[in-house]
Amino acid sequence: MSNQWKRELAKAFKDPQELLAYLQIDPQAESKVAGKPLLSKSNFPMLVPQHFAELMEKGNIDDPLLLQVLPFSHELVQDPEFVLQPLDEQDNFIPVKNIVHKYQDRMLFLPKGGCAVNCRYCFRRNFPYDELGSSKEQWQEALDYAYKQNISELILSGGDPLMMNDKEFTWLSEQIISRNLTANPKVDRLRIHSRLPVVLPARINEQFLATCQSLAEAGVKVIWVSHINHPQEISLTLQEKFKLLQQAGVVLLNQSVLLRGVNDSVEVLEALSRKLFAHGVLPYYLHLLDKVEGSTHFYLNDTQALALYAQLQEQTSGYLVPKLAREEVGNKHKTLYTSN
């Protein structure tokens, strides 16, 4: 059972035509938001696991989940403000392989390139993942560096860090637990930024949960920041997994990206927050889109975003309102926006 997620990933939709046929959508149909489906191969290929496709509405080319993952003609729109590497990470913040160091008490460790889904708005869609080290020696080196920087939190990012297999995740956890015995300060939080379980809930298997439990027992808080943009993504299977993660001591947070046509309405944002909370997940960040090439049709400008955010604040409890944030090059934290 433990490798079920890998088998599911191997069977993911890779051909837009096949996904459209499964969804009973005419390949000539046109989305209001994104234009016509792009059926030819792209250098950022489509990748959509079956579980995620099952959550889409049949016959609806403007389905909010489909819009996030199907290549559309509006990706070809060029705008000088939308660039290949909006955050310029590769030139500035990579002291050793697999590490992005831009924050003070915490550091990003990127164990793996690649994801289980290719989100069309992804700001790392052009990240040089090929340059990531994948040997244990390289990971050791990255951890050596991290432990020398007086951090208290290690953030697993990617790509998608849960592309690690169970053995690798357990190895990494054991490294943290044993290094903590002599470290000062200790790394007492391990944060996992991952969208993988949203598209492949089977990733949350027994071995993963057992490793989370061991970390908890060794005094390391595990935090999973899920990347869910729309309430329809929270399947019954995922809800079960949230429960198991909480039982294993994992704290659940969510971050979303504000996307035109997907979640740019106060109704959807409120429904998302409520559904997350109902299953034990706190809304953490609502990101403004990073201007990556190919994503112009998803973009809302600051005025539009702030108007929406003000409505959300009026409408619901403070803890259901995620922080509205933008990542800016050279900043030691995100830029937060307030509506007044």
Ligand X SMILES: *Cc1c(COP(=O)(O)O)cnc(C)c1O
334 binds, options ligand X, ligand SF4, none, Cβ within 5 to 8 A by partner type: ligand X
The 100-119 site mask, x for binding ligand SF4 (CB under 6 A), equals: ---------------x-xxx
118 binds, options ligand SF4, ligand X, none, Cβ within 5 to 8 A by partner type: ligand SF4
289 binds, options ligand X, ligand SF4, none, Cβ within 5 to 8 A by partner type: none
Of residues 173-232, which lie at the interface with ligand SF4 (CB under 6 A)?
A: 195, 227
C-alpha dihedral, 134 to 139 to 140 to 141, nearest 10° = 100
Taking only Cα atoms into account, the Rg of the chain, rounded to an integer number of angstroms, comes to: 20
Total binding residues for ligand SF4 by CB under 6 A?
11
Among the listed residues 157, 226, 256, 273, the single contact to ligand X using CB under 6 A: 157
Question: Per-residue DSSP letters for 233-273?
Answer: G--HHHHHHHHHHHHTT-EEEEEEE--TTTT-SHHHHHHHH
Residue 22: DSSP 8-state = H
Among the listed residues 20, 151, 155, 250, the single contact to ligand X using CB under 6 A: 155
Q: Which is nearer to ligand SF4, 147 or 208 (CB)?
A: 208
155 with 193: CB under 8 angstroms? yes
155 binds, options ligand SF4, ligand X, none, Cβ within 5 to 8 A by partner type: ligand X
Please give the distance of CA 337 from its chain centroid, rounded to a whole number: 21
Among the listed residues 193, 227, 230, 241, the single contact to ligand X using CB under 6 A: 193
- Candidates 10-18, 57-65, 67-75, 326-334: pick the segment binding ligand X (CB under 6 A): 326-334
**CA separation for the pair 227, 205 (Å, rounded):** 19
Q: SS3 of 224, please?
A: strand
For position 94 contacting ligand SF4 by CB under 6 A, the verdict is: no
Q: Which of 117, 100, 198 is nearest to 154 (CA)?
A: 100
- Crossing angle of the two packed helices 206-217 and 166-180, in degrees rounded to 10: 0
- Candidates 17-25, 78-86, 135-143, 153-161: pick the segment binding ligand SF4 (CB under 6 A): 153-161
Of residues 114-143, which lie at the interface with ligand SF4 (CB under 6 A)?
A: 115, 117-119, 122, 124
* Residue 222: CB atoms within 10 Å: 22
Of residues 94-123, which lie at the interface with ligand X (CB under 6 A)?
A: 103, 106, 108
232 with 260: CB under 8 angstroms? no
For position 189 contacting ligand X by CB under 6 A, the verdict is: no
Give the binding site for ligand X (CB under 6 A).
Answer: 103, 106, 108, 155, 157, 193, 327, 333-334
